Chain A
Amino acid sequence: MNLYTEQVLKRRRRIIAIVTAFFIVMQLLWVFVPVIFAVLWSLVDPDHPWSYPDAFPKSLSLEQWKYVFEYTNILRALATSYTIAPLATLLAFILSLPTAYALGRKKFIGKQIVSNLILLPIILPGMVVALFLSRVFSILGLSQKFMGLVVGHCLMGMPFMLKILTTSFASIPQDIIDAAENLGADTWAKIRHVFIPMVLPGLFAGTIFTFITSLEEFNLTFVIGTPSFETVPTILYSFLGYHFIRTNAAVVSLILMVPNIIMLLIAERMMKTDYLSASLGKM
């Protein structure tokens, strides 16, 4: 006979707590050890190279950071990245708004097909799309152009913007809209007092996701932007791919990664709904 008393339950709860604590420690190692090593590599002192079998660098310095900022194109790449991202996000928002409204609030034949279609940019293999978009872009005269990068980044980020905005529109109860109308609200008043406040959190989430997607975008930028334009990811790639310079790669990795994590953490803090699962989990 199975024992099922309060003491057994308590003991079981304690075991679960211990297992969870163990998992948390494992997970900390699993996630943070790679990150800590990247930080260490970015702080290696060039006069005392870190080499096998030293467990840790002999001395730390900011020389690598200075080097990257002085002798590579990182500053220009940062400027490019952070100009493209807001423009691509803005464009994605303008284009997404009407479509998301229709997908969220209207009934029509073929809705499921359209809902699947808008996800294709993130589902389809990125490099194939990038490579052949580059041909389309060169026909349209967008290749090696700043505008081309904005359009391309917008395309890659739009699924997030569209999906999240659609979910926000769809989650407004019809009752509330009817109630507003019933109380005498005209179209403008409905937009101002119902739609905007209820879609705002979703818009915020969509903006952050699109922005980050643009900052991270590599395939398309690599194919249609180089050599005219460099962004942070293509610089990182050049350090990883062509000639692997570990210290430089470490610095650029951190430059690319840290703002993203901070933005996403802020986003998660500020929003109650788990938009990440809303946009990914229920694709």
Chain B
Amino acid sequence: MKSEKLNIFLFLLPGAGFILFFLASAFILTILQSLGLFTLIGESKFTFEHWKMIFEQEFRDSFLFSLKVGIGSAFGTLLFSYPIALYLRKKGFGKKTLGSLIKIPLFIPALVVAFLIVNLISYHGLINSLLMALGIIDEPLRMLNDQFGWGVLFVQVWKNIPFQLLIISSSLATIRDDLEDAALNLGANKLQVIGRIIIPLSIPGILVAVILVFIMTFGDFAITKVAGPVYPTSMSVRMLTEAMTFQEWNRAAVMGVVIMATALIFVSFYTKIAKLLQENSK
């Protein structure tokens, strides 16, 4: 029995051990550096000094901006992905084609997506030209690098619809057809079937989809850098500026810990929900 345990440990070591080693050391280093320890350049001493930055106006602006973009993207994407998932649930004419078309953005790298969308929403881009040609607006709208972050939201939604669609579709697929038949049989109409059976049963899937997109957009660097406003910047952009431009690694570490912590809080939600999902599908 003991040798079996040892065996399993040895089997797990190369893959899981490799990941654990690098992530844990990066994680621990971030925490230590945020507390003034292990500073590679300059002196190291334990202090909460660097954590004071979380009361700075700029920090708060970045945090709120990332939070807003994160939540906005997660639910903005859901607005499209859930109805599409519902629509694609049943087989039908052309739906396979539609399903694979929708998936395409998933295959496009984030930076390329940023470029593609920036191209459309820039000051003299297609959308502005089109709106002006149609006489809807007189002057081009500022959608790119705007203060609010519409540009980032646009890019994130475009990129994440297929991702959420995959998660939600697989969650909808676990709902058996006979539940729908049973509800109809007991007198429910189509809307009641969706409202009382399908939506409640797919809530775990919805939450997973929302949380994962939130985490990805909350910590995003490249897309915000390209399509986001000059100020406020996202948490990751700010963190990199602190580290690379100002060489303020301790401050960067504080931001790193905040981003990680926010993500991990949501991941722990996610694991709980995943468990619920499993129990429900039994």
Contacts and interface: CB of A to CB of B under 8 A. Distances in A.
Interface residues of B, number: 83
Contact of A20 (B13, B93, B104): B93
A256 B97 CA distance: 25
Interface in A216-274: 216, 218-219, 223, 233, 236-237, 240-241, 246, 249-250, 253, 256-257, 260-261, 264, 268
Contact of A125 (B98, B116, B118, B218): B218
B156 interface: no
A135 B110 CA distance: 25
Given A34-B116, A37-B126, A123-B263, A128 B219 contact: yes
B236 A127 contact: yes
A60 B113 CA distance: 23
Contact of A219 (B114, B117, B212, B221): B221
A253 B102 contact: no
Chain A, interface size: which category? 35 or more
A101 interface: yes
Interface string B234-261: 0010011001100001001100100110
A121 interface: yes
Given A114-B12, A124-B260, A216 B110 contact: yes
A197 interface: no
Nearest to B255: A128
B23 A37 contact: no
B241 to A, nearest CB: 11
Contacts of A268: 100
Interface string A17-41: 1001101100110110111011001
B191 interface: no
A96 B18 CA distance: 9
A33 to B, nearest CB: 7
A55 B224 CA distance: 28
B18 A20 contact: no
Nearest to A23: B98
Interface in B52-111: 87, 92-95, 97-98, 100-111
Contact of B239 (A37, A94, A128, A135): A128
Chain A CB count within 10 A is highest, among B12, B98, B111, B239, for B111
A282 B109 CA distance: 22
A38 B114 CA distance: 11
Given A28-B101, A135-B40, A118 B19 contact: yes
Contacts of A33: 120, 126
A98 B236 contact: no
Nearest to A55: B129
B107 A236 contact: no
B10 interface: yes
A276 interface: yes
B239 A127 contact: yes
Given A118-B19, A253-B115, A283-B212, A128 B256 contact: yes
Nearest to B27: A132
Interface in A131-153: 131-133, 135-136, 138-139, 151
Given A20-B94, A240-B111, A253-B111, 8 more contacts: A33-B126, A106-B8, A117-B19, A123-B212, A126-B221, A135-B26, A158-B18, A280-B163
Interface of B: 5, 8, 10-16, 18-20, 22-23, 25-27, 29-30, 33, 40, 87, 92-95, 97-98, 100-112, 114-120, 124, 126, 129, 158, 163, 166-167, 169-171, 208, 212, 215-216, 218-222, 225-226, 236, 239-240, 243-244, 249, 252-253, 256, 259-260, 263, 267, 271
7 contacts: A31-B102, A96-B15, A98-B14, A117-B19, A123-B263, A218-B109, A241-B226
